[in-house]
Structure 1
């Protein structure tokens, strides 16, 4: 009887690692506009089990012939001990630097998401093996698209989606600039129950 109780207790307290959730969405946080340097800063948050630091990016408008190009910041991720990029280090120093950046930024002006349209230029449908069973297949949609509004348009972008649909999740006008920034949201990660990705897209005046 004692052996039976011990066995039951062992089963009760077994770690349920096989049911752990490790995936998560990728979300965009628009930090604001640096008037002096003419930059828009944003963070890409990885909401998964890894807990890595969010990735900092910016758009550079001053003296830039390609303002739509998103520039990745690496300098904030240098580990002081290893002198190498480390996304898994302690977040305290990183958060201090982000606060310094935020303090000099101007908030963007929220605009209606309905004023921006997703124009699908091309769409291809295929299948790929599912993450849970290599004998099962799931649909995969590859989009080539462009964002447009009344007087603005974006460059051509691509997205791979697993739910058949792109949507505008955020939209802002940039102060003192004839530019709009929006985020496109789609089910870009098919693992577990599926997770969404947000991509930032810059719109400039139509020519």
Structure 2
């Protein structure tokens, strides 16, 4: 009997630990660092011990490539992270918001296939798409998700006419009832994609 109770408790604790391993992933566009010529983005999730900070370096040819910001390397304490973030935020200039109704998701291809999963998500979607405004367009994006929907979330003008930063959300984690992931993409001036 003791073995049954012990194994039941262990299973319950491991289930709880597993359930807390996943949550929605959201983005906060922190602003533009004019000294480093970079846009900083905070990626947050209840499943992260410490949020992650990324940057788009607008001084590089491929400034659509997101990189981890080295200022936060090695920080494992929440208080130290918040202090570092607060210090950096004071140096950032906010980006100008763009109305989302001027932004379009252009679906080029979307394929669905059955998964081996028992429930609740039996279908997985592979999408190829671009995002555009009348003046700007992204490179082709590839997305794997558990829902066909791609939802636009935020839009900002990049400094010095570099383009537009858009975030979109999809159902990317199939655990429990599913969790969404917000991702960022850069739109370039029309006819000026990176080489």
Q: TM-score when scaled to structure 2?
A: 0.83
Aligned pair partner of 2:89 in 80, 102, 110: 102
Q: Aligned to 1:164, what secondary structure does the other structure show?
A: coil
Please show how residues 1-207 of structure 1 align to structure 2 within 5 Å. Answer: 17=13, 20=16, 21-22=19-20, 23-48=22-47, 51-62=48-59, 64-78=60-74, 89-130=76-117, 133=118, 138-207=122-191
Q: RMSD of the alignment, in Å?
A: 2.2
Instruction: State the shift of 1:174 in Å.
Output: 2.3
> Unpaired runs of 5+ in structure 2?
none
Q: What is the CA–CA distance in structure 1 between the aligned matches of 2:101 and 2:14, rounded to whole Å?
A: 42
Q: Name the CA shift for 1:18/1:66 in 2 (closer, same or farther; >3 Å).
A: closer
Instruction: State the shift of 1:138 in Å.
Output: 0.7
Instruction: State the shift of 1:93 in Å.
Output: 1.3
Q: Aligned to 1:176, what secondary structure does the other structure show?
A: helix
Q: What is the CA–CA distance in structure 2 between the aligned matches of 1:196 and 1:137, rounded to whole Å?
A: 13
Q: What is the CA–CA distance in structure 1 between the aligned matches of 2:13 and 2:101, rounded to whole Å?
A: 43
Instruction: State the shift of 1:45 in Å.
Output: 0.8
Q: TM-score when scaled to structure 1?
A: 0.79
Q: What is the CA–CA distance in structure 2 between the aligned matches of 1:155 and 1:26, rounded to whole Å?
A: 23
Q: What is the CA–CA distance in structure 2 between the aligned matches of 1:177 and 1:43, rounded to whole Å?
A: 23
Deviations 1:37-58 (A, max 9, x none): 221000111223xx42111111
Q: Which residue is equivalent to 1:84? A: none
Q: What is the CA–CA distance in structure 2 between the aligned matches of 1:129 and 1:101, rounded to whole Å?
A: 45
From the CA coordinates, give the structure whose radius of gyration is larger.
1
